[in-house]
Chains A and B, each alone.
Chain A
Amino acid sequence: MNLRAMPARLLALFRQRELDRQIDEEILAHLELAELDARAAGLRPDEAREAARRNFGGIEQMKEDHRDHRSVQWIDNLLRDLRYGLASLARNPGFATVAIGLLALGIGANSAMFSIVDTVLLKPLPFPEPERMVRLWESTPQGHNGTTTLTFLDWKRQTELFDAVSVENSEKVAMATGGDPIRVSGKTVSADYFQVFGVSPQIGRAFAHGEDQPGAARVAVLSNVFWRKQFAGDPGILKREMVLDGEPHKIIGVLPAGTFDRDEAVFWTPMIFAHDQMNRGQHWLTPIARLRSGVSIQQARAKMTILRASLNGVIYQKDWGFAVEPFAEFLVADTLRRSIYLAFGAVLMVLLIACANVANLMLAQGTTRRKEMAVRAALGARRSRLIVQLLTESLVLCLLGGVAGVALGMLLLRALAPILAASLPFTAEIGMNLRVLAFAAIAVMAVLIMTSLLPSLRTSFGTLATALNQASRGSSGSHSAVRRAIVIGEVAASVILICGAALLFRSLAKLQEVDTGVQIDRVMTMSVDLPSAVYPSPQSAARFYERAVRRLQSVPGVERASVTQGLPLQGVQWGEYMTLPGVQQPLLVRLKFVDPSYFRTLQIPVQTGRGFEDKDRAGAPPVVVVNPEVARYLSKTLAIADPVGRTAGLAVPGYGPIPESLVKVQIVGVIRGERTAALNAPPEPVVYMPLAQAPQQDIKVVVRTFTPPAAAMPAIREAIRQIDPNLPLGDLLTMEQVKEQSMLWAKQPTWVLGAFALVAALMAALGLYGVLAHAVTQQRREIGIRMAVGASSGEVLAHIFRGAFSMLIVGLAGGLAGAFLLTRVLKSLLFQVSALDPAALTAACILMALVGILAAWIPARRAARLDPMTVLRNEG
């Protein structure tokens, strides 16, 4: 083929009709002229016309030749096949709808899932040179730990290793808006925080050196989304201020839109260390850093080890080292990674089943079209040409399915993004992008190969004679063996997915059965953060707690109110060592601060001793209450039968920047215990301290109501507002919601897998139905004869069901075998359920069998209702 002619030929593809018209006109003119000449030469008019025609040669042949040569033939053929493919789909809208729907579902779900896999697990972080970003830790024998202010400042001085080292601390503050104050999330960060990410503001500037030193002017950087929403995208934003916790802050910059818009924080302010924080006792910082270019993580580790050795004189945890880890590693929790891979695996399986179904439908189509193919072959069409035609028809199907799938994927992502955002790291941007589209394109190609190659070959390879004969007679041939094998595969794959889902559902049920130890119904919680400016001292905070509880207690509908530093199931922020006199080994306990009515509000009974009372206030002897895990530890390892009355040493965090101090406390009681962390985690040793003796700024109000808690909400808000009208009200959650959130990690993969399993089962059922229905149509004659010679409709029913059962049973067996091999990947997501839990596996098989029987029922009934006379008359 000549390149020079290529443009003209490609152009010709789009002007076929115009070019056809032109050549017709030329032919007409030619014939007229020839006729004129012939008459001039003395022929009669009819002879002249005849001669002109003869001399011209075959007109149609010439036109065909013209058409073939003026454009690129294979493209021309392709277009013709595409047109033909569309037409044949249009002739068979039922088949087309089902096939495109199946493919759209498979490709859509896969594209959506791939978008999540890609952004969370595959793509590099959306920052320049993300491999240079690291997290710095102190490493303890138990794992990674935060570091202290002074050690952090030592790290910061390692300028030959790091371009920037920064810490961040989340906070919730009240922002004055003119009306009611709003509670906004922000972060206090070191001045070079944005250098670590390699991000510079879109408007204004980032923090300058020295802005994180005491006495610096108060400044803030905003997220793009906050600037647009709260400040209406004011271009003069740099001239404005915002008042946070009563302190005016000058706005110096706005970040670019994108990644940081997904961070919970909407503003950033410099972190200024208080004098009290300058110690090596409080491990409260988890720094992130950007390695100097050219410095490898190994080099950094080696240098940090040397640095650690040089600090031996001042760091008293002798067995703690320094650790440098890639930043990306800590963004995605292990459970999330597993859940995502699991969901992706499941959705790929769904796609496979969808492909199997479509291939099956095509095979069925192929059977009916055999005659057409045979006729075309008899008329001289080459086999390769026939295969290409069938492949093109499949291509049309797959392309339509792919386009519909991408659209569906977009809808899915739009619907899912808000639900998933909370579970995914802020660096994850889910949505349709070129990478996802490329994935979808590859999926379409793979689907095309899987769905069409086999059916095309089978359809066009049949010999002419058998095809012409079989098509009219119709009986089950080797064809249906392939189709049955495909259905068996579908059933097996579905069984695997249903087994996985059943295991997860059982695990979730077990999780839900776990006794939380606290009242869940009719309990409302609300976060409150006491701003340092208004509540500068522990005493002022303690006064607030007392007034709040007293005020809330008088709200109609409120049964009991309390204030606590942490809610059940959300984990306890503080972990401290408790030392007992005369005992070498200190016990690491979670330390929780609650007010006197906390245990009663959440219905946590006191087992021995007493709970907290109003007399346990600042100045009174410090007391603690322990949970059964602590009591058990004491009795087991230290032979202390009754811990009540014992004294212990405890490091207690101070109020705000006040450092922790070692306090001698007396154990006054043992409570029955509450689940403080996620329900799948074993109960941990918890020590409770009266909030009044160790006040904290970030607290939760817990209220038990007589009625559903939502009804009391306005009154609860009003009560807090009466105490402090400037206090913004934070997240309001019922205990029900708190429990839900704590199980989200287990729920999301369960429902996702459950949904996929359901889709898979329905698809397998559809496949089974398709094969059986087709078989019934093909075997009408056979069935008719059987009935004519005396078979009852019951026997016909049984015959069809036998066919269904043979497929179902083999599929179930294969699926179970697959489940035995595959469900172990679920192990880490299962709670108190074995990966081979017999109940779950049995339930899965029964479910699949039921769905299968339902699918077989319709064609079986139809077969049983056949009227032998009509059948034999029509087809005999």
Chain B
Amino acid sequence: MLPPESTKEDMEAMRISLGFDKPLYVQYWKFFSNAIQGDFGMSIRWQRPCMELFLERFPNTLLLGITSMIWALFMGLTVGILSAVYHGRWFDSFGKIIALVGQALPVFWLGLMLMVLFAEWLGWLPTSGIGTWQQLILPSLTLGAVFAAAITRLTRSTMLDVMDSEYIKMARTLGIPERIVVIKQGFKNAAIPVLTLAALNFIVLINGTVITESIFNWPGIGRLSVEAIFARDYPVVQTIVLIASSLFVFMNLLVDVLYAFIDPRIRYD
């Protein structure tokens, strides 16, 4: 951080300005109290406050994450519900294969293959970058794939459980149209585990952004963390890890609260 020809006094001044002359617990307390107030210190590489860097990149990751979540939920729920409704038929097998392959796909490889296929060979979509909606398609498909597979699998199995229950038979006996039985009686009861999965997959999503963003040159948190790791920029890495873990804990809390809204049985307990 200092030029090699700097004097001993310069180094000492630097040490004092960074607070290294204080004992460890004082340093830790200073870091901790600043962090709670949103000040994570300065980035070594970019020479800017870490929080500023994080906030600058965060909207991009949010955009990518939400887009992937939306399509993954849409795809996962549709295929999952239809697989359960057509249990044992060809669509079910199709859904099962999609779910199994999707969960075994290495994200980095899927991203590269999609890039070759749609950007290089077919030329339909741009390879990387950010700005237009076309540039959002490939990264969000890549990021959402694993997630979509997990949702498909879980939706299918919970729907199968639910559709086998007495109240579904009851609803059918009453002559309620099958379409409404599936959506209102069936899916509403199957939604809880799927919701939990959606929230718990937040961690998977963060792991995915690290890879996806570095493949598609998407200027988000994931690429920021890779850049920071390679530059040994620990304040930035620290910031990202701390915020990501806190978000995860917060998401878990949110799910617990949401449960009570969705399922009255939990509220009344």
Q: Do A and B come from one complex?
A: no
Chain B contacts to A: CB under 8 angstroms: none
Chain A contacts to B: CB under 8 angstroms: none
